Amino acid sequence: MATKQLNTSVDKALYDRLDRLATRTGRSRSHYASEFIERGLNDLEDHYLLKDALEEFHASDEDSIAHEDVDWDSLGR
């Protein structure tokens, strides 16, 4: 996988926590920073895509279906 470098600053307490985790597990600080960015980005994308979809739904004036009225067994078939 091609990679690009990203430089950022964090406060000392966060840096120290990251350093302790890296030392304890034998992985690099960069490994955990990259993992954290990926997980956080996934969460943020989900949040904002859902927020936008909900706003779009509310603006559409479409009818909703109550959760208990959904035939869950027929979905995906």
pLDDT score for 72: 87
Q: What is the DSSP annotation of 35-74?
A: HHHHHHHHHHHHHHHHHHHHHHHHHHTPPP--GGG--GGG
* pLDDT tens-digit map of 1-47: 899 999 999 999 999 999 999 999 999 999 999 999 999 999 999 99
**Does the pLDDT value for residue 61 go beyond 90?**
no
The pLDDT score that the predictor gives to residue 77 is: 59
Give the per-residue pLDDT at 76.
72
